Structure 1
Amino acid sequence: MSGKPRRYRYRAWHGGADPLEPPVDLRSALDAIGREVMEGASPRAALEELLRTGTRDSSGLDELTRRLWQRRAELQRRHNLDGTLNEVRRLLDRALSQERQALSAEQGEDARFRELQLDALPTDTAGAVNELANYDWRSSDARETFEEIRNLLGSEFMEQRFQGMKEALQQTTPEDVERVRRMLDDLNDLLAAHARGDDTGEQFDRFMAEHGEFFPEQPRDVDELIDALAARSAAAQRMLNSMSEQQRSELAALSQQAFGDPRIGQALQRMDAQLRGLRPGEDWTGRARFRGDQPMGLGEATAAMAELGELDRLAEQLGQAYPGARLEDIDLEALERQLGGQAVVDAQRLSEIEQQLRRQGLLERASDGSLRLSPRAMRRLGETALRSVISQLRSRRGERDTDRAGAAGEPTGTTRPWAFGDSEPWDAGRTVRNAVLRRAAEGTSSPLLDVSDLEVAETEQRSRSAVALCVDTSWSMVQDGRWVPMKRTALALHHLVATRYRSDALQLVTFGRYASTVDVGELAALEGTWEQGTNLHHALLLAGRHLRRHPDAQPVVLVVTDGEPTAHLEPDGTAVFQYPPAPRTLSATLSEVDSLNRLGATLSVFMLGEDPRLEAFVDIVARRGGGRVVAPTPDGLGAAVVGDYLRTKRRR
């Protein structure tokens, strides 16, 4: 073999998404969805908001749509639809000038009569051209110029319906005109047979064998042929709709002069009518306003209308507002034509986010068909909330995060990979098993034992707690910006108990006019509603019921509220509201505080806001319940509640 070193050449990647780009950041996407859900949005609406606004790495659907509308506006501001009519007028004026110049050099009555004929021509372009259709030109130059008009009209009308025909028909001969006429007649016969349902594949094959040169897109069957023709014909109709009535009338009259053969225009009109019947779903009624100074011919204008139609379809696909909309509906080829390759990459990444969220079980369908966050998603949101809380605790009190399931005590029966700083005992069986499996995969030359093989046995606290977290869900919590911090606090505490103190029993209780027990998913999705009443009495009743179900656990009650009690529960289950609070409400609430105290419960109140009446009430609660009062800011609420829970664990 040659000893020459191989040389490699590196070029820009143009094959779609960068293959070296990191995978989509699902954690960041889930956090964004979680924030929206906790602020009251449904998971479906939260996902749609994420797709609309995009991520750090990808433009959202709104930005892509904005760029589409910008491109649409630029196209309409730049052009106008007068190109063909202006060019016909210019050629007509030149032909008339050439003819008058030839006539002026002649003597005799015939020349004067012809000059009178020219002076009496209709003032409109179409009328003049049609009047001159049978005129016997004296000037050969004028005759050639008039033929240019006919060929221009023929090529433009053909370009309207058959893209690329204008260039092919620039040097038109009578034989070319006859080929076009014959193709149109055969095409109309094929369309009519298809409409009746008696066309055959052989008929289509014969048509393409004879006239395939007119169809560079090479349709595979008659339906593909009709689709392509109908899209172009509908764009031509939208262009006509966008013109003035006078312009439309002139073009209709001029169509009879296409290639100097009225049968061409008639065949095109028949074809348009058949296509409209075969594809009524195409947009045949739309219109657009062009207000620029760059004139377009009929073919260019039709292409511009087709492009506007493509932009409108893309905008609809990106809007995702129609029933059953999916990101997979987006026409990526059209998107690349209009906005470039990066737009395709952004759309693909957004689609991948949606697919991965569903595929990895982070979003799931409820029994009623609605979308909701799965338990796995709630764990991830709780982990994020807890990490934020722990970082606040560390910065505030110098504490460090720990991955231990418990500070010391009994094994939980579970293991986890060893991490730096762990002091739990190794699980020898799991560690050896990991090493054997790794060496079997990597080969016997790999190390006998690697750090990645190590697993430690998790432990849990010997003392367990029954914890009731009671959170105020009255309207003032939403109004004063405390709604989301309250939910994050509940998520963080729930995740801490579920992952590190698994023997503890946590119950979440919400209270407004009434109180109720909820799971963490229900709390995260809870929407704020206008409802008067802060029924702490009912919440403490439910908390006490939870504590009594766990008589062997240390009872802990944590209350988050921004207002004094204004409602209590009557023996018949009716909630009574009154503001300022009635003595009966305060008495019933404090009576339940005393009941919790007799159970030995530790009661901590986290007071949000600076309400003097609330301060006076919680001071009484602290004295009678032997608990403590904390007044955190909304941003510090999570650290305060989790820190208080951990303090009770350390104290025991």
Structure 2
Amino acid sequence: MAIGFRFSEYIPPQQEEENFESLLKIFLQLVTFTSGDVAEALSWLNELDKEYKLTSDKYGIGDFIEDLKKKGFIDDGPQQDGNFSLTAKSEQGIRKSALEEIFGKLKKGGQGSHATSHTGIGDEASTDRREYRFGDAVEQISMTDSIRNAQVNHGIGEFRLTEQDLEVNETEHKSQASTVLMIDISHSMILYGEDRITPAKKVAMALAELVKQKYPKDSLDVIVFGNDAWQIEIKDLPYLQVGPYHTNTVAGLELAMDILRKRKTANKQIFMITDGKPTCLKEGLHYYKNSFGLDRKVVNKTLNLAAQCRRLKIPITTFMIASDPYLQAFVDEFTQVNNGQAYYSSLKGLGHLVFRDYKQNRKKNF
């Protein structure tokens, strides 16, 4: 019987699909920058097309817009008036894009969970073996090792399996974690012409997608803080904008603690992304504000909350987007009081540090 090859007609990849995917990546970046304003993002895309010739005679921006609608990334709204809006598919696409950009490509696993340093009756088998203990599950028993022990202990001629012969597969405990991510949306996040809010949003979206894919048992709550603090949905992250606010870190920490207090998990933590010092407190119906230097009234209240979090065993990891020595000195003091972690990062390295600390906190604290 002759063995040969079967040939078929080669069908090259569709050019339109390749063009769509390449333009989609740029579009998702732009729509993050424009805080979800589709029209402005498409306007920027047109300008980039003029400058860098992103499209061809066969596939233009108009075709791309039609494909965005057909594939469910944008819609025209109820009145079909051309005021495009993002769909849930786009919001998820933006989070995935941020995840790939900041954390690299991660394979989706099964049920995510936090490894601990404890072993016993757990969820995931390890390579370790130990003697049987009362209460161990039957499925943990390693029959091969147990039978071998019986032969060594009692001889091959008379097979007898006793409790002392049993070996079990060691398992590692897994636990859930509750995380609150705090994002500073004060005016300083866009001060002096520097866009610091876009990288902060990307980190938040990447972290949200990471938790969703790798650690589905975890909870992740996101809050923003300016003059006040309030909770937002994960789906709202692409639309986040800076306001004409001061930095009420106290309000953010109080809200984060309220959220974590309602969580039943034993393992809790706070991530805080900020570029400025605390400058604001709310006293009754009025705001106490001072943007000049470090106001001890504001600072002391902030440090008191850091100490309270420490007593509640809630570590705070602060990502400080600033290089001012006196601001770093404040963060050092804040971190020491909380016994947490602090990183002074450039915008480029922020995502890597968030990911690294999230993974390290899981391994170390949980």
On whether the aligned pair clears a TM of 0.5, the verdict is yes
Alignment correspondent of 1:355: 66
Alignment correspondent of 1:650: 363
Equivalent in 39, 42, 51 of residue 44 of structure 1? 39
Alignment correspondent of 1:35: 29
1:373 partnered with 2:86: yes
Alignment correspondent of 2:148: none
Q: Give the aligned residue type for 1:403.
A: K
Q: What CA distance in whole angstroms lies between the structure 2 residues aligned with 1:484 and 1:34?
A: 12
Contact 1:40 1:528 in 2 (8 A): no
Shift of 1:22: 5.0
Q: Give the aligned residue type for 1:36.
A: L
Q: Give the aligned residue type for 1:566.
A: T
Indicate the structure with greater strand content: 2
Structure 1, unaligned runs of 5 or more:
1-17, 61-341, 392-399, 412-460
- For residues 399-437 of structure 1, the C-alpha deviation after alignment (integer angstroms, 9 at most, x for no partner) is x944324367759xxxxxxxxxxxxxxxxxxxxxxxxxx
Q: Secondary structure of 2:211's match?
A: helix
Write the mapping of 1:32-111 to structure 2, written as runs, cut at 5 A. Answer: 32-40=26-34, 42-54=37-49
Q: Give the aligned residue type for 1:484.
A: T
Equivalent in 330, 333, 342 of residue 620 of structure 1? 333
Larger radius of gyration: 1
- For residues 140-184 of structure 1, the C-alpha deviation after alignment (integer angstroms, 9 at most, x for no partner) is xxxxxxxxxxxxxxxxxxxxxxxxxxxxxxxxxxxxxxxxxxxxx
CA distance 1:649–1:50, change in 2 (3 Å): same
Shift of 1:565: 0.5
TM normalised by structure 1 equals 0.41
Contact 2:319 2:344 in 1 (8 A): yes
Shift of 1:35: 2.3
Using CA pairs under 8 Å that are at least 6 residues apart, name the structure with larger relative contact order, 1 or 2: 2
Q: Give the aligned residue type for 1:50.
A: L
1:473 partnered with 2:178: no
Q: Give the aligned residue type for 1:43.
A: V
Alignment correspondent of 2:209: 495
CA distance 1:586–1:59, change in 2 (3 Å): closer
Alignment correspondent of 2:221: 507
Q: What CA distance in whole angstroms lies between the structure 2 residues aligned with 1:496 and 1:55?
A: 36
Shift of 1:637: 0.4
Indicate the structure with greater helix content: 1
Contact 2:181 2:272 in 1 (8 A): yes
1:527 partnered with 2:238: no
Alignment correspondent of 2:9: none
Alignment correspondent of 1:579: 291
Q: What CA distance in whole angstroms lies between the structure 1 residues aligned with 2:50 and 2:255?
A: 42
Q: What CA distance in whole angstroms lies between the structure 1 residues aligned with 2:40 and 2:272?
A: 31
Contact 1:602 1:627 in 2 (8 A): yes
Q: Give the aligned residue type for 2:66.
A: Q
Write the mapping of 1:353-432 to structure 2, written as runs, cut at 5 A. Answer: 353-364=64-75, 370-391=83-104, 401-405=106-110, 406=112
Contact 2:108 2:213 in 1 (8 A): no
Shift of 1:492: 0.6
Q: What CA distance in whole angstroms lies between the structure 2 residues aligned with 1:598 and 1:401?
A: 35
Contact 2:197 2:241 in 1 (8 A): no
Contact 2:268 2:313 in 1 (8 A): yes
Q: Give the aligned residue type for 1:363.
A: I
Q: What CA distance in whole angstroms lies between the structure 2 residues aligned with 1:650 and 1:585?
A: 34
Q: How big is the alpha-carbon RMSD for the aligned residues of Structure 1 and Structure 2?
A: 3.0
Instruction: Among all aligned residue pairs of Structure 1 and Structure 2, give the percentage whose two residues are the same amino acid.
Output: 24
Structure 2, unaligned runs of 5 or more:
1-11, 116-121, 125-172
